[in-house]
Amino acid sequence: MENYLVAMLVFAGLYALLALGLNVVWGMTGMINLGLVGFFALGAYVSALLTKKAGWSMAAGLPAAALVTAGAGVLVALVTARFRGDYLAIVTLGFSEVVRITASNEIWLTNGTDGISGIPGPWRGQLSPAAFNLLYLGIVALAVVVVLVACERLRHSPYGRVLRAIRDDDQVAAVAGKPVRAFKVEAFAVSAAVLGLAGALYGHYTSYIAPEVFTPLISIYVVLALTVGGTGNNYGAVLGAALVVFFMESTRFITAALPGLAAVQAAAVREALIGASLILMLRFRPAGLLPERVRPMARQ
């Protein structure tokens, strides 16, 4: 039971990272990313392959994963930066699908749908499973704190102010002389790097990744986490992630207790609940539990 709780905390931490990454683009810059799971998967594969096949250490695999996903983010953002956000929605959704197809079919590299097993984790062999779990919780918690502090610094910096200006009205930002397109591409790259980092951490924790692990539903979890917590608020992203993991796990027990449901029906109920709660949040509590606080303008 302790192991289960620790594992849930690790997952909450990973979702917190994903929500923080989403907050940089969606919360701060007002750009959409509906293919979060694609960047998450890409990061997981890059670090898993580098540590398992090329013999890199995890300490080198994590930044490499962040760099590669940032590069992918730059490409996606560059192609769509000139257009309305709708195109970014379509392209990011497509991107995640292409990542999944590639991971399923480049068998020489990714082992196809069988996935990659035996991904090294820090001192996995030497430690008892319980100790490994705790150690990993520490690593993930550290990552969350570092990313949270960095995101807060970003938010309060002049740079973050420009991002918010672009979110609220990118034409005004452009008229004020800000290179809007460059800011958008950079913000997307930063966000993608965080998503990739989360993916890499996921792979080293579970030691197994496969294309079917990275379902589009994960993107919805993350959007839900950020919306529940408070779009634009970094602390809200972390809180929302913890709540969503708690919610997801409790539905597991509730659906298991419902009589007369086949396994596939129970799974369907859970997934539908996730989607429905996102719709309800967007409708009735769009600012989330911790709404973004914007300092009122100083009186002249």
Partner 1 sequence: MLAEAVQLVINGLVAGTILAVPAIGFTAIYAVLRFPNFALASHLTIGAFAGYIVNVAWGWPASGAVLVAFLGAGLAGVLNDEVVLRPLRPAGPLTTAIAAVALTIVLENVVRFCFGNELRGYDLPIQRDWQAAGLRIGAQQVKNLGIAVLAMLAVFLFLAFTRTGKAMRAVADNPTLADVKGVDPDRVARLVNFVGMGLAGIGGVLLGLDTSIDPLTGFRVILSVFAAAVVGGLGSIPGAVVGALTVGVGEELSLLLLAPAYRTAVGFAAILLVLTLRPRGILGERAY
CB of 88 to partner 1, least distance (A): 9
Kind and range of the H or E run holding 117: strand 116-117
User: Both ends of the chain: CA-CA distance in Å?
Assistant: 58
**Of residues 138 and 275, the one with the C-beta less far from partner 1:** 275
**Of residues 51 and 227, the one with the C-beta less far from partner 1:** 227
- 95 is a site residue for partner 1 (CB under 8 A): yes
Cα angle 74, 206, 139; round to 5? 70
CB of 222 to partner 1, least distance (A): 11
- 286 is a site residue for partner 1 (CB under 8 A): yes
SS3 1: coil
Evaluate whether 181 touches 51 at the Cβ level (below 8 Å). Answer: no
- Backbone φ and ψ for 118, nearest 5 degrees, come out as 70, 35
CB of 133 to partner 1, least distance (A): 30
CA dihedral 144, 81, 39, 160 (to 10 degrees): 0
- 283 is a site residue for partner 1 (CB under 8 A): yes
Stretch that binds partner 1, among 40-48, 79-87, 124-132, 151-159 (CB under 8 A): 79-87
- 87 is a site residue for partner 1 (CB under 8 A): yes
CA atoms of 104 and 112, how far apart (whole Å): 4
Q: Pick out residues in 18-47 that bind partner 1 (CB under 8 A).
A: 30, 32, 34
**Of residues 243 and 274, the one with the C-beta less far from partner 1:** 274
CA atoms of 270 and 252, how far apart (whole Å): 7
- 101 is a site residue for partner 1 (CB under 8 A): yes
CA atoms of 166 and 188, how far apart (whole Å): 13
Q: Pick out residues in 170-229 that bind partner 1 (CB under 8 A).
A: 216-217, 219-220, 223-224
Q: Which amino acid is at 44?
A: A
- 67 is a site residue for partner 1 (CB under 8 A): no
Strand partners, 117: 208
- 282 is a site residue for partner 1 (CB under 8 A): yes
CA atoms of 119 and 47, how far apart (whole Å): 9
**Of residues 85 and 129, the one with the C-beta less far from partner 1:** 85
Evaluate whether 46 touches 173 at the Cβ level (below 8 Å). Answer: no
CB of 171 to partner 1, least distance (A): 15
Q: Return residues touching partner 1 (CB under 8 A).
A: 30, 32, 34, 79-80, 82-87, 89-91, 93-95, 97-98, 101-102, 104-105, 216-217, 219-220, 223-224, 262, 264-265, 267-269, 271-272, 274-276, 278-279, 282-283, 286
